[in-house]
Amino acid sequence: MRLLHVVSSPADGSPCDQNCQGAAIDLSNSGRLSEIGERAILDALTQRRDADAVYGDIEISGVVERRAAWSPTRLLAEPGACLPLAVRCTTLAELGCTATDPALVLRLVEHDSLVLHVPAVLSRHPQPPECADVADINSHLAEIGIAATAVEGDQAGRFRLVPDPSEQPPVSIIIPTAGKSLGEAATDPNAARGDELAVERCLERIAATGRPNLEVILIVGEEYQGDPERIASAGLPIRLERRPPGEFNFSAACNQGILAARNELVLLLNDDTELDPGAVDAMAVHFGDPSIGGVGALLRYPDGTIQHAGMIMDNAHPLHPFVGWSIEDSQRYGGTVARDVISVTGACFMSRRSLLLALGAMSTHFPLSFNDVDLCLKIRRSGHRVIVEPAATLVHRESFSRVAEIFDWEWDRWIDRWGEVPDPWYHPDYRRPDDPENLRLNADHLEPTDPRDHCDPRDTTIKGHLHRPRISHHLT
């Protein structure tokens, strides 16, 4: 490809005919291509003849915004997240759009287009490019089947979804529990009653949401401390499933619940969590879009800081960014924006029962750790998307019921199965510190240590690669 039309006003939005083999990019409001911009765009579209469009990182008033790979869900919350976009003229003709149409990115989603990201600054702008407005997003929501209304979000140019209250699909909540008491969590400041079971608190909060169309399946084993029948009458439609005798396998327990569930939407939930009102609907609303295979939530520690807001993968290590950050601080890096991610935690994970069964559900190969990441990769590989919805919030006393430790055999199995899966939503400029002692201090990965241009375009394909470890693998 040799031709890149640069358009700067709606008047020159259709610079060519449908037979043009070039691409067009809208650089209205004094935007301009960077030194490598034109070459990188043309090279990307030449290398990937199946791609419809390409975008890159952007510099606005001298500040570089590094971007993630294509995320249709992110566009619902932040429609300017991949502008400006260079689109093939043939694709524009098919869509009946011009390069200056602010809703062009949404049309590309509806068209199931292949859009590439080049992790390098391709253009510079004095102000953010004009993007789709709330009306565009609402008509897009109707088009893709999401029963929600978009409203203004926490920052200019950001939106959030308000699920339609008349659409509350039935959900089965699956909770494996050992019946441990909150008193065992010595650091928990909210544990007012030491003898109260974590699962009791969990069920109380579910009941308090007042959401109809819920079924709760408790998976209990012989290790359960107390009488599970006592909690099976917590004002919710609860079913008890007895785990077969033997060593506890979290994945097998979840699978037992998935098999027993009567609803198509299933929510895997740890018993040491407390759902906030609206969390179930905020997650469930995304399943109107058939491309969605898994939805995660924003999990807080009892002190209100972030425990989980989607995961990243760095050198084969699945990591939680924003750990210990306030929710407000995470806004700068899009922590509060619904978006595609490589994985979410299994502590609160919604999916389709039929899809989970087709994929073998949670892998019993990973009885304790990695089972959630493995499941998300399987979902991604099946052609479905995994997203995090930070509007769905809950408290999680992380690993209060077990020691947060990854054994060597778990790591070996993980590397054996997946090797190193590059994370398309994690910018190559970001790297965790190569310090085995600081692996858990991974909240600072979102500042580049050695910024450079990476001109290889990337899509959202998930594929295992040979793992080349940078440092010791122990997550201490």
Q: Considering the rule CB under 8 A, would residue 365 count as an interface residue with other proteins?
A: yes
| Phi-psi map region of 370: left, alpha, beta (phi>0 left; psi -120 to 50 alpha) | left
> What contacts 49, CB < 8 A, 6 or more positions away?
none
Q: Considering the rule CB under 8 A, would residue 464 count as an interface residue with other proteins?
A: yes
Tell me how far, at minimum, the Cβ of 47 lies from other proteins, in Å.
20
- At residue 187, φ and ψ (nearest 5 deg) are -90, 0
Tell me how far, at minimum, the Cβ of 172 lies from other proteins, in Å.
16
Q: Considering the rule CB under 8 A, would residue 403 count as an interface residue with other proteins?
A: no
* Strand ranges (E), 37-190: 53-60, 63-65, 85-88, 115-125, 148-152, 159-163, 171-177
Q: Considering the rule CB under 8 A, would residue 466 count as an interface residue with other proteins?
A: yes
159, 134 Cβ separation under 8 angstroms? yes
Strand partners, 55: 85, 117
Alpha-carbon distances of 399 from 180, 272, 346, 437, rounded to whole Å = 12, 8, 12, 20
339, 74 Cβ separation under 8 angstroms? yes
Site for other proteins in 222-251 (CB under 8 A): 244, 247, 249
Q: Considering the rule CB under 8 A, would residue 358 count as an interface residue with other proteins?
A: yes
> Of the two residues 18 and 461, which places its CB atom closer to other proteins in the complex?
461
> Of the two residues 328 and 416, which places its CB atom closer to other proteins in the complex?
416
Q: Tell the residue number behind the tokens 């407000």, with chain if given.
A: 328
Q: Considering the rule CB under 8 A, would residue 306 count as an interface residue with other proteins?
A: no
Q: Using the rule CB under 8 A, give the single segment among 49-57, 127-135, 297-305, 358-366 that binds other proteins.
A: 358-366
Residue 127 CB-half CA count within 13 A: 7
Tell me how far, at minimum, the Cβ of 407 lies from other proteins, in Å.
8
Tell me how far, at minimum, the Cβ of 123 lies from other proteins, in Å.
35
Tokens of 150: 């978009």
Centroid of chain to Cα 474: 25
Q: Considering the rule CB under 8 A, would residue 149 count as an interface residue with other proteins?
A: no
> Of the two residues 340 and 420, which places its CB atom closer to other proteins in the complex?
420
Tell me how far, at minimum, the Cβ of 360 lies from other proteins, in Å.
3
Residue 163 CB-half CA count within 13 A: 21
Tell me how far, at minimum, the Cβ of 224 lies from other proteins, in Å.
19
> Of the two residues 123 and 363, which places its CB atom closer to other proteins in the complex?
363
Closest CA to 467 of 425, 429, 412: 412
Among 363, 369, 401, 460, binds other proteins (CB under 8 A): 363
> Of the two residues 124 and 378, which places its CB atom closer to other proteins in the complex?
378
> Of the two residues 41 and 356, which places its CB atom closer to other proteins in the complex?
356
DSSP per-residue letters across 143-155: HHT--EEEEE-SS
Q: Tell the residue number behind the tokens 């895997």, with chain if given.
A: 268
> Of the two residues 103 and 421, which places its CB atom closer to other proteins in the complex?
421
Among 465, 470, 472, 474, binds other proteins (CB under 8 A): 465
Q: Considering the rule CB under 8 A, would residue 361 count as an interface residue with other proteins?
A: yes
Residue spans of alpha helices (H) in 96-133: 104-110
Site for other proteins in 408-437 (CB under 8 A): 409, 416-419
Judged by CB under 8 A, the number of residues near other proteins is 29
> Of the two residues 243 and 445, which places its CB atom closer to other proteins in the complex?
243
Report how far residue 121's alpha carbon sits from residue 427's, in angstroms, rounded to the nearest whole number. 12
Q: Cβ of 216: how many Cβ atoms within 10 Å?
A: 24
Tokens of 261: 């569930």
Report how far residue 52's alpha carbon sits from residue 345's, in angstroms, rounded to the nearest whole number. 32
Strand partners, 314: 317
Contact track, other proteins, 255-284, x by CB under 8 A: xx--x-------------------------
Q: Considering the rule CB under 8 A, would residue 369 count as an interface residue with other proteins?
A: no
Site for other proteins in 373-392 (CB under 8 A): 377-378, 381
Q: Using the rule CB under 8 A, give the single segment among 165-173, 252-260, 283-291, 432-440 that binds other proteins.
A: 252-260
Q: Considering the rule CB under 8 A, would residue 443 count as an interface residue with other proteins?
A: no
Q: Using the rule CB under 8 A, give the single segment among 99-107, 231-239, 273-281, 459-467 that binds other proteins.
A: 459-467
Q: Considering the rule CB under 8 A, would residue 459 count as an interface residue with other proteins?
A: no
Residue 124 CB-half CA count within 13 A: 6
310, 388 Cβ separation under 8 angstroms? yes
Helix (H) or strand (E) holding 239: strand 238-242
| Contacts with other proteins, residue ranges (CB under 8 A) | 244, 247, 249, 252, 255-256, 259, 357-361, 363-365, 367, 377-378, 381, 409, 416-419, 463-467
